[in-house]
């Protein structure tokens, strides 16, 4: 229901802003631009889905091999004590725990192409346990918030953009981004647990979350001892080696347990193709509304309004110039990436605004895109508290990014 109101609001706000610009500013091009954006955004949605088809087919094929070979069940047994506390409505040792872990690990390593199909596989497993097929269950919402909070320990793409735009030390944003994204994830878990009445003080849950924080701290310590070139090389190499090890491990387990690996892969790949087709309408709906909202100029007006309020209150205003990246991030990954590059180009990669845009880009993930793709893949129309919890994590991650940028670079 919340997503329904937000989706409608995008169109109404765009219409009001468009009328205001045409009547009071004489901008006769605003409505042609808005209509053009509906066509271009619908085309983009289809192209994204088309681009996902091959990736989904491959990774869901590999996951099917892992299921037949028993590796997913093994992961489920290992992780059941922790995940059963975070997802109390899922039966212990259920295979979906393994899928959730694989998605979580891929996100942490910044492996977006692998994380999405693994997440869709996990969401399909959660839908099998869901009694109300059109309504998001508590485990679905917790899983979605874990994805939208965007915990990523190796932000390789952001460091590459900084290097391309002439940053003296492209990796200097590594630790601030890690701290900001950890903040968003922890806040997302806490808020969702509060709404779902999960006992966050449970000993097993605290031990698991503490272990994650310890692992992140060790990664920070290890990478802080490397120079920028070594950090980029190690991050890229380790991520891709781990990804290939996963593929080989799944295939080896299948062969060891006498599974017809090829047939299992093809069966899973067919499911990936069907999933890619199912998400097209949901992507079209969300991307067209975002495109119209941007084309109307509403985003620019929002930033200008914040700038005026900050100036009136006589508060530090440097962060406002990076606000477009924060506002765009929940809506569109490519849009926020473009904002980040534009701000680094305009102000300089090593400027406060340039660095802050990188922190905002890396602190959270694209909430509405993930919601449309993940829930759309299983035909969920009633999202309950998923949007509010996800946006809460986004806001806290963005605030943490601003404060950390002042702390490290201010």
The pLDDT tens digits for 242-264 are 768 878 988 998 899 888 999 98
Average pLDDT, the chain: 83
Instruction: Give the mean pLDDT of 323-338.
Output: 80
Closest CA to 55 of 118, 147, 125: 118
Q: Per residue in 173-208, is it b (16+ CB within 10 Å) or e — as a string? A: bbbbbbbbbbbbbbbbbbbbbebbebeeeeeebeeb
Bridge-partner residues for 135, per DSSP?
Answer: 382
Of 191-195, 281-285, 322-326, 353-357, least confident by mean pLDDT is: 281-285
pLDDT band at 2; cut points 50, 70, 90: low
Amino acid 143: pLDDT: 92
Instruction: Give the mean pLDDT of 289-296.
Output: 84
* Res 68 pLDDT > 90: no
* Res 3 pLDDT > 70: no
pLDDT digit string, tens, across residues 84-102: 888 989 888 788 888 888 7
Distances (CA, A) of 201 to 92, 191, 194, 206, 392: 20, 13, 11, 6, 21
Residue 321: HSE in the Cβ half-sphere, 13 Å Cα cutoff = 17
Amino acid 236: pLDDT: 62
Amino acid 110: pLDDT: 61
Instruction: Give the mean pLDDT of 342-358.
Output: 88
Reading the block at residue 168, the tokens are: 């003296």
> In the 8-state DSSP scheme, what is residue 1?
-
Q: Provide CB contacts within 8 A for 312, sequence distance 6+.
A: none
For helices 367-377 and 138-148, the axis angle rounded to 10 degrees is 140
pLDDT band at 235; cut points 50, 70, 90: low
Instruction: Give the mean pLDDT of 36-63.
Output: 81
Bridge-partner residues for 382, per DSSP?
Answer: 135
* Res 290 pLDDT > 80: no
Q: Provide CB contacts within 8 A for 296, sequence distance 6+.
A: 13, 14, 15, 17, 18, 21, 30, 33, 34
Amino acid 191: pLDDT: 93
Of 131-145, 153-167, 291-305, 309-323, least confident by mean pLDDT is: 153-167
Amino acid 239: pLDDT: 62
pLDDT band at 109; cut points 50, 70, 90: low
pLDDT band at 114; cut points 50, 70, 90: low
pLDDT digit string, tens, across residues 182-221: 888 889 999 999 999 998 888 888 887 888 778 777 777 7
Highest-confidence segment of 233-237, 282-286, 375-379: 375-379
pLDDT digit string, tens, across residues 121-145: 889 999 999 989 989 999 999 999 9
Q: Say what percent of the chain tops pLDDT 90.
A: 17
Amino acid 392: pLDDT: 92
């Amino acid at each position: 229901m919340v997503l329904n109101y937000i989706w409608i609001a995008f169109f109404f706000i765009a219409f009001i802003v468009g009328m205001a610009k045409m009547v009071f500013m004489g901008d006769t091009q605003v409505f042609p631009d808005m209509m053009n954006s509906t066509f271009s955004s619908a085309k983009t949605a289809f192209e994204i889905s088309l681009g996902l088809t091959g990736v989904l087919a491959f990774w869901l094929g590999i996951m099917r091999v892992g299921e037949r070979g028993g590796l997913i069940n093994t992961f489920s047994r290992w992780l059941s004590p922790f995940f059963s506390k975070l997802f109390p409505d899922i039966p212990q040792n259920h295979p979906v725990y393994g899928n959730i872990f694989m998605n979580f690990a891929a996100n942490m390593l910044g492996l977006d192409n692998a994380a999405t199909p693994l997440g869709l596989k996990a969401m399909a497993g959660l839908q099998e346990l869901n009694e109300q097929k059109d309504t998001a269950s508590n485990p679905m919402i917790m899983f979605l918030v874990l994805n939208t909070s965007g915990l990523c320990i190796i932000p390789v793409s952001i460091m590459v953009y900084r290097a391309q735009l002439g940053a003296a030390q492209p990796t200097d944003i590594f630790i601030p981004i890690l701290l900001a994204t950890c903040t968003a994830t922890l806040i997302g878990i806490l808020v969702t647990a509060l709404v779902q009445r999960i006992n966050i003080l449970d000993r097993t849950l605290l031990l698991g979350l503490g272990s994650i924080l310890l692992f992140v701290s060790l990664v920070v310590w290890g990478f802080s001892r490397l120079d920028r070139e070594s950090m980029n090389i190690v991050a890229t190499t380790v991520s891709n080696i781990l990804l290939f090890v996963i593929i080989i491990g799944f295939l080896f387990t299948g062969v060891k347990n006498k599974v017809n690996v090829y047939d299992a892969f093809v069966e899973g790949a067919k499911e990936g193709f069907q999933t890619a087709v199912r998400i097209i309408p949901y992507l079209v709906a969300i991307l067209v509304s975002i495109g119209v909202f941007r084309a109307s100029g509403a985003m620019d007006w929002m930033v200008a309004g914040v700038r005026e309020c900050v100036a009136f209150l006589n508060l530090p205003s440097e962060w406002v110039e990076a606000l477009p990246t924060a506002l765009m991030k929940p809506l569109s990954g490519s849009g926020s990436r473009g904002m980040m590059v534009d701000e680094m180009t305009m102000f300089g990669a090593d400027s406060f605004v340039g660095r802050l845009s990188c922190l905002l880009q890396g602190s959270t993930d694209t909430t509405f895109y993930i919601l449309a793709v993940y829930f759309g893949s299983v035909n969920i129309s009633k999202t309950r508290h998923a949007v509010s919890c996800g946006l809460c994590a986004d806001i806290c991650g963005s605030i943490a990014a601003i404060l950390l940028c002042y702390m490290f670079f201010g």
